[in-house]
Amino acid sequence: MKFMLCALIALFVTPAIAADTTIEMLNKDADGNKMVYSQEIAMIDSGDTVTWVPSSKGHNVEIIASPNGMKFKSKNSKEAAITFDAPGIYYYWCTPHKGMGMIGLVVVDGDLSNKDDIAKAKAMGKSKKKLKALLASLS
């Protein structure tokens, strides 16, 4: 009986463990797509961390639109990690390759409430069409 009680208590008081998502910055993926992140939409929970890894040189991560006004810009060819605490959509790009469509989204807690704001965010070149498609896929 004591064992069962301890097991039940452990089940309900075990802390949630935050997850870590790794996204590679690539010159070309396995499908031949050029200047891409290995994951274009990352669906995560509050408290999770996304780590961008430069598998190819010359890339970075710059968050340009978010639900909480967060701004972030990593150095080229350097690993970057961010823990996300505010729900919503975060839009980022590779600064040198944004015109080539090297963009991505992080969606925290499945919250799409700032989708219209993200749709109005700056995009250039191939990123315009790609952002529209990524947002449409979230519906």
Give, in order, the Cα–Cα distances in Å from 108 to each of 15, 66, 90, 114.
19, 10, 8, 11
Distance CA 37, CA 24 (A): 6
**59 among the known binding-site residues?**
yes
**97 among the known binding-site residues?**
yes
For residue 126, the cross-strand partners are none
Distance CA 39, CA 24 (A): 8
List, as residue ranges, the binding site: 59, 94, 97, 102
List, as residue ranges, the binding site for Cu cation: 59, 94, 97, 102
